[in-house]
Amino acid sequence: MPDLDGSVALVTGARRGIGRAIALELARNGADVAINDVEGEEEAERVVAEVRALGRRSIVVLADVSEPAQVEAMIERVVRELGGIHILVNNAGIEPITPFLEISADEWEQVTQTNLKGEFLCAQSAARRMIEAKTGGAILNIGSVQAGMAMPGRSHYAPAKRAVEALTANLALELAPHGIRVNCINPGLIKTEMTAWVMNDPETLPRVLDRIALKRAGDPEEIASVAAFLVSDKASYITGQSIYVDGGFRIL
C-alpha cells in the first residue's frame, strides 16, 4: 500500500463522487486531507468527518477553482491550518452535455474555466508553496476518457480535457527540477452523480457498456486506488503521464 504518512493533500471537487473516494483513499494511506468544493458545505463536512474517523486531520475549504483570489486563499489556508501541502488532486470539473450548435459563449467559458483554468491555477499556487518549502510533491490532474475520443455534446468538455493532458506534460517538465511530479488520470464511465443519467437510462446504458471492453462501469474507488499510487513514492519515477482508467473504453 502507498505510504502517505506525514503528507498534506488537497482534493478539489471532493464533496462526492471521484473526489470523495480519492480523499478517503489518501486518508487511509496516511495523508491529512483538505476537502474543497465550490458549494455544498454540509456534504463536504461529512467527508471531513469520514477522513477524521480514519485518524487523519481534515478541513473544508470552499472555493471556486476558476477564481485566482479564491484559489490563493484556499491554498494559503491549507498550508496555515494543516502545515503545508505535498499533494494536490485537481478533480473539480463540470460536464454539461450540449449540441455544438447550441453551445453559448458563456457555457464554453464556464466549462473551460472550471475544467482547465482551474487546474492551472491550483497547480501553480500549490507548486509555488512546494518549491518555497523545498518539500517536492505530487500533482494529479483528473481528466476524462473523452480527451481521447469524440462523443456528441462535448465540443467544449472534450477539448478542455484534452488540454489537461498537455498541461500535465508541460507542468511535469517545468516542475521536475523542483522534485514535483505531475500526472493525469483519465477516468472512463464511473458510477457517480455526474453519470447517473447514463447509469439509470435502460436504453443508453447498454449501448455505452457495449463500447467498454470490460462491459461494466467503474467504481470511484477504482480511480482512487490509482490516484493514491500516483501521488505516492511508489510512483517516484512516473511523471508527465496521462493514464486511462476506463475499462478499455477507447480500445473498442
Query: Judging by beta carbons within 10 Å of its beta carbon (0-12, 13-18, 19+), is residue 210 exposed, middle or buried?
Result: exposed
Using DSSP, how many helices (H) and how many strands (E) does the chain show?
Answer: 9, 7
Question: What are the phi and psi torsion angles at 61 (to 5°)?
Answer: -130, 95
Q: Taking a C-beta distance cutoff of 8 angstroms, is the pair 164, 116 a contact?
A: yes
User: 120, 157, 244, 249: which is the annotated catalytic residue?
Assistant: 157
Q: Taking a C-beta distance cutoff of 8 angstroms, is the pair 250, 144 a contact?
A: no
**Is 237 among the catalytic positions?**
no
Q: Which amino acid is at 243?
A: I
Q: Taking a C-beta distance cutoff of 8 angstroms, is the pair 77, 102 a contact?
A: no
Query: Judging by beta carbons within 10 Å of its beta carbon (0-12, 13-18, 19+), is residue 142 exposed, middle or buried?
Result: buried
Assigned C-alpha cell, 152 = 456528441
User: Can you tell me the distance from the alpha carbon of 66 to that of 119, in angstroms, rounded to the nearest whole number?
Assistant: 8
Q: Taking a C-beta distance cutoff of 8 angstroms, is the pair 47, 14 a contact?
A: yes
Q: Taking a C-beta distance cutoff of 8 angstroms, is the pair 70, 126 a contact?
A: no
Assigned C-alpha cell, 188 = 472512463
Active site residues: 157
